[in-house]
Amino acid sequence: MDQILEFFKHLINPSWIIEHGGLYLLLAIIFAETGLFIGFFLPGDSLLFVAGIYSEDLCRSFFNVPFVVIMLLIAIAGVLGNMVGFWFGLKSGPIMFKKKDTFFFKQRHLHQAHDFFVKYGGGAIFFARFLPIIRTFAPIVAGIVQMDRKKFMLYNIIGSFAWVFSMMLAGHYLDKLFPTLKNHLELIILVIVLITTLPVIIKLISGKVKSTPHTGEETESSKITDSTL
């Protein structure tokens, strides 16, 4: 049990992932975080940034391919992860719509999610890539509410490539500008985690503050928050 816990502890450490798992573990984690329920805790943003810093090592470990090939492979893993999440949501959707309300599940949240994706579908899938936790559940919800497949795939591909390339290129070029960047990885990872999770935290807090407990009604912003999550 201690060994299992230690392994999962390493999985949230981007530096350990790159140094010990290389490209293969990186691909598996990006795939899991972008479409599997169990992947919501994985460090996607900081992992990609650190992968950019270790770009030369990754290239050497994978047949000395150009850095752009590494980024393409990772972006494709993100696309495939979202496709699996969408497929799972699509298959479980009919069951979910027949499921009775419980403390953790409300039918109205599915209907609100449907309205949200009809109105903001493409944007929801694109911007979810840059938000921890939300990027894991967004494709699943999109499948549940039966978002148009072609539209989903378009923004799935655009979002994955924009997310992967921006984070990895940022790490790659900042490492070139500041050669000692590797000496401060713990601080850098902490900053990235804070920056990327702050919008989610603010949205959750604002959703609760804007709710109206006296009437039992929810504002539009809180509904969108619930639907997105």
pTM of the full predicted structure? Answer: 0.75
Amino acid in the structure at residue 158: I
pLDDT of residue 150: 93
- 3-class SS of residue 217: strand
Summarize pLDDT for 43-95 with one digit per residue, the tens. Answer: 778 889 989 998 988 998 898 999 999 999 999 999 999 999 999 889 887 77
Q: Please say whether the beta carbons of 17 and 47 come within 8 A.
A: yes
**Overall residue count recorded for the chain in this entry:** 229
pLDDT value of residue 104: 52
Which residues, at least 6 apart from 105, have a Cβ–Cβ distance to it below 8 Å? 96, 99
What one-character DSSP code corresponds to residue 100?
P
Assign 5 a pLDDT band (cuts: 50, 70, 90).
very low
Contact residues for 70 (Cβ-Cβ < 8 A; gap 6+): 23, 51, 55, 58, 59, 62, 168
Residue type, 214: H
64 or 117, which is more confident? 64
For range 140-161, the mean pLDDT: 91
Provide the token pair at 1: 């049990």
- 41-64 as b/e, with b when 16 or more CB fall inside 10 Å? ebbbbbbbbbbbbbbeebbeeeee
> How far apart are the C-alpha atoms of 14 and 51, rounded to whole Å?
8
Report the pLDDT averaged over residues 97-112: 67
CA distance 66 to 206: 44
User: What is the distance between the terminal CA atoms of the chain, rounded to a whole angstrom?
Assistant: 31
Closest by CA to 225, choosing from 112, 88, 100, 93, is 112
Can you give the pLDDT at residue 164?
96
Domain boundaries, the chain: 2-228
What is the CA 192 to chain-centroid distance, rounded? 14
Contacts of 28 (CB under 8 A, 6+ apart): 21, 77
Residue 132 is classified by DSSP as: T
Give the range among 70-74, 92-96, 160-164, 217-221 with minimum mean pLDDT.
217-221
Q: Got the DSSP string for 150-191?
A: HHHHHHHHHHHHHHHHHHHHHHHHHHHH-TTGGGGHHHHHHH
Task: Answer yes or no: are the C-beta atoms of 60 and 52 closer than 8 Å.
Answer: no
